[in-house]
Copies of this chain bind each other. A is one copy, B any other.
Amino acid sequence: MPNPTAAMLVIGDEILSGRTRDANMHHLAGELSKAGIDLREVRVVSDDRGAIIAAVQALARAFDHVFTSGGIGPTHDDITADCIAAAFGVKIDVRADARALLEDHYAKSEIELNAARLRMARIPDGATLIENPVSAAPGFTLENVHVMAGVPSVFQAMVSSVLPGLTGGAPLISETLRIDRGEGDIAGPLGDLAAEFPDLSMGSYPFQKDGRFGSNIVVRGTDQAAVRSVIARLRATFAG
């Protein structure tokens, strides 16, 4: 059975403006690889209602899972939860269980649960909550969309809350061989191997270091024996 597929939707003007370098994509990509879920696409869109709704609908239709990051805090630019509700045509309001989590958290820290903070308890109808052990305000899963925070520590905690509940496939095995030759010398033999092993993915990632050319050849697939066999043949071809 093929592995489940996934897409990620990063919501944030701060990444598109160049102010912040996204960190959540790389984290999620690594976790999904380990879980045997194939991340096929990532989109980054701005804090724009139309753009978010269109992206959620397109990705939710095309992939088994969609993971979103960003836009679920208390400020006016945090519009993700409302956009997800709109994308699925369901209502959204403050929900008792989410509100209770916030009341408990803010009572302990002696911070007022004001109107702005209460926005973080707005949950679309039919969603299940995603636990946030860092700062209490929950994420949620609606249909096949998992809605999580943008702050990296919270995002990572929420990914850890969500992934064990999903059915994964075979973990992706990845092995890398560094070859100290120009990519143009490697391309022929590598292309032949790629044609011979259509179930494996082979990538070449060139580098230039101290004036010498080389490339890291990465062979990926779910069949460990096949991956190792290709690496061994590449090593034999380019030895010496």
Contact = CB atoms under 8 A, between A and B. Distances in A.
A197 B229 CA distance: 62
Nearest to A106: B184
B39 A16 contact: yes
A210 interface: no
B29 A16 contact: yes
Contacts of A119: 187
A35 to B, nearest CB: 11
Contacts of A14: 203, 205, 218
Interface residues of A, number: 68
A29 B18 contact: yes
Given A111-B184, A114-B188, A117-B187, 20 more contacts: A14-B218, A15-B26, A18-B30, A18-B33, A21-B25, A22-B25, A73-B183, A73-B206, A74-B184, A75-B186, A75-B204, A76-B187, A76-B202, A77-B201, A77-B202, A116-B187, A116-B191, A117-B182, A119-B187, A151-B206
13 contacts: A19-B176, A40-B51, A41-B45, A42-B43, A74-B183, A75-B187, A75-B191, A75-B203, A76-B187, A111-B184, A112-B184, A113-B184, A114-B188
